[in-house]
C-alpha cells in the first residue's frame, strides 16, 4: 500500500536538509485556505457536493506532479485506521480536524512530503508547503505558484473587496497562515519567552507550543504565526513575521551564550544527564522525553555533544508520539506500554548514532 | 447518517468519548459540534468563538431567539445556504461565499476586531478569477512608476512605461467588448 511510505519514517524527506538558521529554526510553513465558488463551505455543504470535490481531486491530481513536488498520493481519510490518522497528524501532513472528519475528507501529499493539500477540511481546499529552516519567502513563492496551478482548474471563491472567502472570518483575505517552528530552549530556561509573548501578540502574531497542551511547549518547540489575514499583502505579512523570528533567533543565541558563560558546568551537567536518561531509560513518559531531547539537541548545537545528528529532536519528537508508537507496535498500547516502547526506541535510535 | 443532536443535517464528525471506561460513539454535524463545544480549533491561537460572543453579547440573546418570533422575521439570512446572522455569530463560521454579501452590513466591526482594523483585501488576486482586476492593479503600479520617472526627468523610461499602460488598457477594453 502506498500509504506505507508516509508511515514508515518519522521525519519527512525534506527535513533531512539543513535550511538557514537550522540551529534554531526547524521549519517554515505556508498554509493557504481556498474554496470553490458556488458551493457551500464544508460546514454546510451537502454530502454529495463534498463527494464531488473529493472525486475531482482524485481524478485530476492523483499521481500528478508539480515541479519538484512529484507523484501526489491521494488519501481518503475514511480508508485510514485510527492509528494511521494519528501518524499523519503527528507528522503534520494533515490537521487533527481533518482526521476527525467523516465522509469526503481527503488529502494529497507529494512524494517528498513537502506539499500537502487537505480536501474538505474547514475549507474545501487547504494547501500546505514546508521548507526546512527559515525560508519564508521561498515557501510563500512556492505556495503561491502551487495555488496558481490549482486555480487553473478550480473556480475559487474570491471577492474584490474581501479577498479569498473562507469559512472562518479569521482566515478571510489572503487565506494565509505563515508559521515558523523554532527550538528556543535558552529563552524558555530563562523564562524570557513568557515576557516576550505579549509584545509579539501586539504585532498581530501568535506564539504557541506545538506539542503539549495549553501554554506548555513540550521540547521547547514553539510555533510563531500570523493572526491577521485581511488588509495586508502576503509579502508584508511574512516580512513582519520574519523580522520577529530574526529577533527571537538573536535573543536565543545571546541567551545561549550567556548561560554558557555564567553557568557552563551546570548547563553541561543538565545536557549530559538528559543524554544519559535517553540512553539508559527503560520507561519514559512523553514529557520527560521531550525535555531530555530538547537538552540533547541544545548540547549538539553548542558542540557539547558530538556525533549525534541534529535531526534527533524532530525525529524522536514525532517517533515517540502515541500514534507512531502504536503504528510501530502494530497494535493499540496502554500508556505504560507506550512509555516502555518509547524508551526502547530512543535507546535504539541513539545507538545507531554512536 | 444524520446528526444525533439536530436530526436535520448529515453527521460529518465522529467523536469517541470515554467516560468511566465506557466508550460512546457520537455522530454529529459541525454546526451542533460547535454549539455543544465538541469542536476546538487548535490551529487558531485564540478563540474566535469567545471573541464573537464577547462582541455580540448585547444582542445575541434576543434577536432571532425562538421566544421572540416578531424579531425573527427581520433576521438576515443567506439565501444561498440558509445560514442566519444569529447562527453565524453563534458558530463563528460562514456557510458559503454568499454569506459575505448577505451579512455584509454587520461584518466590518468583526473584521476590524479580528484583523487589526482592516476590512479590505490587499493581497493576491487569483489569475483567472481575478480577470481584469489583475490588469487594473498592474496599471496602478505602472502609473505610480510613471510619476516617479517624470519627476526624475527620466523621459525615455517614462515613454516605455506609458506604452505598457496603453497596452494593458487596450486589453481591458478588448476583454470588455468580447463579453
Ligand atoms: Zn446537528
Ligand atoms: Zn451562505
**In this predicted model, what pLDDT tens digit does every residue of B89-133 receive, in sequence order?**
888 999 999 999 999 989 999 999 899 899 999 999 988 765 666
A43·B95 Cβ contact <8 A: yes
Q: A312 among the known binding-site residues?
A: no
How far, in Å, from the CA of A166 to the mean position of ligand 1?
21
How far, in Å, from the CA of B26 to the mean position of ligand 2?
27
pLDDT attached to residue B47 = 47
What residues of A are in contact with residue B2 (Cβ under 8 Å)? Answer: none
Q: What is the pLDDT of residues A166-185, one digit of tens each?
A: 999 999 999 999 999 999 99
* A264 at B interface, C-beta within 8 A: no
Give me the residues of chain A with pLDDT under 70, please: 1-2, 212-215, 353-354
Q: What is the pLDDT of residues B10-58, one digit of tens each?
A: 787 777 766 666 777 778 887 777 777 666 544 443 445 555 554 444 3
Helix%, strand%, coil% for chain B, nearest 5: 50, 10, 40
pLDDT attached to residue A213 = 63
Q: Collapse the DSSP code of B6 into the 3-class scheme (helix H, G, I; strand E, B; otherwise coil) and give the result.
A: coil
Q: Is the dihedral of CA A69, A74, A78, A82 positive or negative?
A: negative
Residues with CB in 5 Å of ion ligand 2: B 78, 80-81, 83, 95-96, 98-99
* B102 at A interface, C-beta within 8 A: no
Q: Which of A96, A144, A168 sits opposite B93 (nearest CB)?
A: A168
pLDDT at B82 over 80: yes
Q: Dump the DSSP string for A197-217.
A: HHHHHHTTEEEEESSSSTT--
pLDDT attached to residue B21 = 62
Q: How far is B158 from chain A (nearest CA, A)?
A: 27
pLDDT attached to residue B165 = 84
Across the range B128-148, mean pLDDT stands at 76
How big is the CA angle at A27 (ends A113 and A222), to the nearest 5 degrees?
Answer: 125
pLDDT attached to residue A214 = 61
How far, in Å, from the CA of A167 to the mean position of ligand 2?
10
Within the 106-125 window of chain A, which residues sit less than 8 Å (CB to CB) from chain B?
122
* A41 at B interface, C-beta within 8 A: yes
- Mutation target vs B (from A31, A32, A38, A40; most B CBs, 10 A cutoff): A40
Q: A31 among the known binding-site residues?
A: yes
Alpha carbon distance A278, A348 (integer Å): 10
pTM listed for this prediction: 0.80
Q: A178 among the known binding-site residues?
A: yes
pLDDT attached to residue B31 = 78
pLDDT attached to residue B71 = 46
A174·B93 Cβ contact <8 A: no
pLDDT attached to residue B61 = 40
pLDDT attached to residue A105 = 95
Picking from A108, A101, A110, A105, the residue whose alpha carbon sits closest to that of residue A124 is A105
Write the CB contacts of B162 (distance below 8 Å, at least 6 apart in sequence).
Answer: B146
A100·B14 Cβ contact <8 A: yes
Which of A270-276's residues contact partners 24+ apart within 8 Å by CB, and which partners? A270/A295, A271/A295, A271/A296, A271/A298, A271/A299, A271/A302, A271/A304, A271/A305, A272/A299, A272/A304, A272/A305, A274/A299, A275/A299, A275/A305
Amino acid at each position: 500500500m502506498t500509504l506505507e511510505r508516509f508511515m514508515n519514517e518519522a521525519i519527512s524527506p525534506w527535513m533531512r536538509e539543513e535550511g538557514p538558521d537550522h540551529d534554531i529554526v526547524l521549519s517554515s510553513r505556508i498554509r493557504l485556505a481556498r474554496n470553490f465558488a458556488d458551493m457551500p463551505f464544508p460546514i454546510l455543504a451537502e454530502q454529495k457536493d463534498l463527494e464531488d470535490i473529493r472525486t475531482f481531486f482524485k481524478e485530476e491530481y492523483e499521481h500528478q506532479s508539480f515541479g519538484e513536488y512529484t507523484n501526489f498520493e491521494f488519501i481518503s481519510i475514511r480508508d485510514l485506521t485510527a492509528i494511521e490518522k494519528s501518524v499523519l497528524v503527528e507528522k503534520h501532513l494533515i490537521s487533527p480536524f481533518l482526521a476527525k472528519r467523516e465522509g469526503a475528507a481527503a488529502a494529497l501529499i507529494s512524494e517528498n512530503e513537502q506539499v500537502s493539500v487537505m480536501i474538505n477540511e474547514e475549507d474545501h481546499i487547504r494547501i500546505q508547503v514546508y521548507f526546512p529552516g527559515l525560508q519564508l519567502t521561498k515557501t510563500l513563492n512556492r505556495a503561491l505558484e502551487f495555488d496558481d496551478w490549482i486555480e487553473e482548474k478550480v473556480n475559487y471563491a474570491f471577492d474584490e473587496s474581501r479577498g479569498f472567502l473562507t469559512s472562518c472570518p479569521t482566515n478571510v483575505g489572503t487565506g494565509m497562515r505563515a508559521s515558523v517552528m523554532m527550538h528556543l530552549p535558552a529563552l524558555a530556561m530563562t523564562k524570557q519567552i513568557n515576557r516576550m509573548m505579549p509584545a509579539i501578540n501586539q504585532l498581530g502574531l501568535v506564539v504557541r507550543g506545538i506539542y503539549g497542551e495549553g501554554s506548555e511547549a513540550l521540547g521547547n518547540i514553539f510555533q510563531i504565526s500570523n493572526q491577521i489575514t485581511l488588509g495586508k499583502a502576503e509579502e508584508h505579512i511574512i516580512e513582519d513575521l520574519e523580522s520577529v523570528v530574526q529577533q527571537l533567533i538573536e535573543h536565543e543565541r545571546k541567551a545561549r551564550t550567556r548561560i554558557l558563560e555564567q553557568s557552563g558546568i551546570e548547563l553541561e551537567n543538565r545536557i549530559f544527564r538528559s543524554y544519559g536518561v535517553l540512553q539508559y531509560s527503560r520507561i519514559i513518559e512523553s514529557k520527560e522525553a521531550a525535555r531530555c531531547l530538547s537538552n540533547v539537541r541544545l548540547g549538539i548545537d553548542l558542540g557539547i555533544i558530538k556525533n549525534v545528528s541534529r535531526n534527533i529532536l524532530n525525529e524522536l519528537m514525532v517517533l515517540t508520539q502515541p500514534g507512531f508508537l502504536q503504528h510501530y507496535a502494530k497494535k493499540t498500547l496502554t500508556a505504560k506500554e507506550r512509555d516502555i516502547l518509547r524508551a526502547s526506541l530512543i535507546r535504539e535510535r541513539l545507538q545507531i548514532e554512536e | 447518517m444524520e446528526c444525533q443532536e439536530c436530526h436535520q443535517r448529515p453527521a460529518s464528525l465522529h467523536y469517541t468519548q470515554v467516560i468511566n471506561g465506557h466508550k460512546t460513539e457520537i455522530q454529529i454535524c459541525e454546526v451542533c459540534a460547535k454549539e455543544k463545544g465538541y469542536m476546538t480549533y487548535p490551529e487558531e491561537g485564540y478563540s474566535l468563538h469567545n471573541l464573537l460572543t464577547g462582541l455580540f453579547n448585547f444582542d445575541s440573546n434576543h434577536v432571532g431567539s425562538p421566544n421572540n418570533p416578531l424579531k425573527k422575521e427581520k433576521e438576515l439570512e443567506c439565501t444561498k445556504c440558509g445560514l442566519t446572522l444569529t447562527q453565524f455569530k453563534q458558530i463563528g463560521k460562514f456557510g458559503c461565499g454568499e454569506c459575505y454579501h448577505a451579512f455584509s452590513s454587520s461584518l466590518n466591526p468583526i473584521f476590524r476586531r479580528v484583523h487589526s482594523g482592516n476590512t479590505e483585501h490587499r493581497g493576491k488576486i487569483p489569475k483567472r478569477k481575478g480577470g481584469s482586476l489583475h490588469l487594473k492593479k498592474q496599471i496602478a503600479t505602472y502609473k505610480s512608476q510613471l510619476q516617479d520617472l517624470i519627476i526624475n526627468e527620466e523621459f525615455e523610461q517614462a515613454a516605455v512605461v506609458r506604452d505598457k499602460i496603453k497596452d494593458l488598457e487596450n486589453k481591458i477594453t478588448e476583454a470588455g467588448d468580447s463579453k
